Amino acid sequence: MQRTLVELIADKRDGGTLSAEEIQRLVRSFVDGSFADYQMAAFLMAVFFRGLEDAETVALTEAMLHSGSVLDLSAVAGTKVDKHSTGGVGDKVSICLAPLVAACGVPVPMVSGRGLGHTGGTLDKLEAIPGFRTDLSASDFARIVGEVGTCMIGQTKEIAPADKRIYALRDVTATVESIPLIVASILSKKLAEGIDGLVLDVKVGRGAFMKDEARARALADKLVRVGTRAGKKVVAVLTRMDAPLGEAVGNANETREALEVLHGKGPLDLVACTLVLGAEMLVLGGKATDAKDAEAKLRAAIADGSAARVMEKMIAAQGGDASVVGHPEKLALASEVTELRAARSGFVAGIDALTVGLAGVAMGAGRTRADQAVDPSVGIQLDAKLGAKVAAGDVLARVFTRTKKAGEEIAPRVLSAFTVEDAAPPSEPLVVGRVI
């Protein structure tokens, strides 16, 4: 006799193993409304504590994938490759990476998400561009990828709709960090894009969902294993996320910074991360023989302006104001600026990414409820990066808020993320590891 949905929740709560058919039934019932949001939230919490075996994770991924349509991009020439980050603070890499890789001849169909927990979302950042639409249909998505080389949208009703709803629930039920839920979420929407290859940026550190290398590597291993089992070329790169990536944390200000990278500017760590991931994508896409060859091609696409031109075409195709590519300053920031100054001289020995990320959420750059809108204009600017030498009174950071009171309220929280010590911290590599 078939078990009830409530029995399946209880079984997973008690550490049991569900069959593929049972997991498919849970997802199917969630999509048709017979399994309520609060019941799915209970199931997610059970998974958070009890985990899923590989077979269960594969079943969940496939159930979420087939809750909608799998796009057919066979008409788009070339090997289609996407990139996905597990989430970090200040991680705006996708915005500059997609047009850069497309400019080098590798089509990049990218379905992105919104802010999750303390981390920012690519869609929220892109929507800081006036008129930019991320809610395109699957047919428009495929057409733009073919015409421009890349398109960046959110999940539609056609693309893994179950994941779209589960993703929103995870964000507000403290179940974000679960490895099997992350794997199923990422791969269900990525496989639905019709891609041939996927490069995964698995963040590790204080500002990542995976705080230590062992858990980050476990996530990378599972992502590569499940993705390869689905017949895709998959590479995972582990990158450090103890301090925010780049100098901007927010939405409009992060998009500004990503656009600067396409003009050969931008913070060194952001540029380095973009080039590392872009090189992996070019090799998977068959447009470079190795990482060195790939990096040379990426740098050339920035230098000759072709990457910026692809970005302009993509923004225009998605209804946005393409002039922001040449004039990032058009992306308005909140008018009230509060400066945070160093209390002593020394070296910036730490910038706690988690603290900065949570401060950004509290300011309105992120969400505490699934139905909340973000304020694209508020944000944090890090004027002193990790390792910088500072004197007492130097500006460490600035916060951009709608009101002076809001700036004064958030300033101590952001300032508490900084550690200033007598000695400079040891230099650590951006890339922690690689999994294939």
Q: Which residues are tagged catalytic?
A: 84, 163, 170, 185, 189
Sheet with 395-401, strands from edge to edge, namely 248-250, 379-382, 395-401, 336-341
User: How far are the Cα atoms of 137, 138, 169, 206, 371 from residue 158, in angstroms, in the given order?
Assistant: 8, 7, 19, 35, 20
Contacts (Cβ under 8 Å, ≥6 apart) of 38: none
Q: State which H helix or E strand residue 61 sits in.
A: helix 54-65
Q: Strand 379-382 and strand 248-250: pairing? A: antiparallel
User: How far are the Cα atoms of 70, 91, 136, 293 from residue 142, in angstroms, in the given order?
Assistant: 11, 26, 10, 29
- What size, in residues, is the chain? 436
Q: State which H helix or E strand residue 186 sits in.
A: helix 179-191
Q: What are the tokens at 366?
A: 């992120």
- How far apart, in whole angstroms, are the C-alpha atoms of residue 256 and residue 245? 14
φ, ψ (nearest 5 deg) of residue 13: -60, -35
In three-state secondary structure terms, 7 is helix
The type of residue at 170 is R
In three-state secondary structure terms, 426 is coil
Rounded to 10 deg, the angle between the 20-32 and 5-13 helix axes is: 120
Per the CB < 8 A criterion, the answer to whether 237 and 198 are in contact is no
- How far apart, in whole angstroms, are the C-alpha atoms of residue 227 and residue 230? 5
In 267-352, which residue ranges form alpha helices assigned H by DSSP?
268-284, 291-303, 306-317
How far from the centroid of its chain's Cα atoms is residue 184's Cα?
A: 15
Sign of CA dihedral 165, 166, 172, 176: negative
Strand partners for 152: 110
- How far apart, in whole angstroms, are the C-alpha atoms of residue 387 and residue 216? 25
φ, ψ (nearest 5 deg) of residue 351: -135, 105
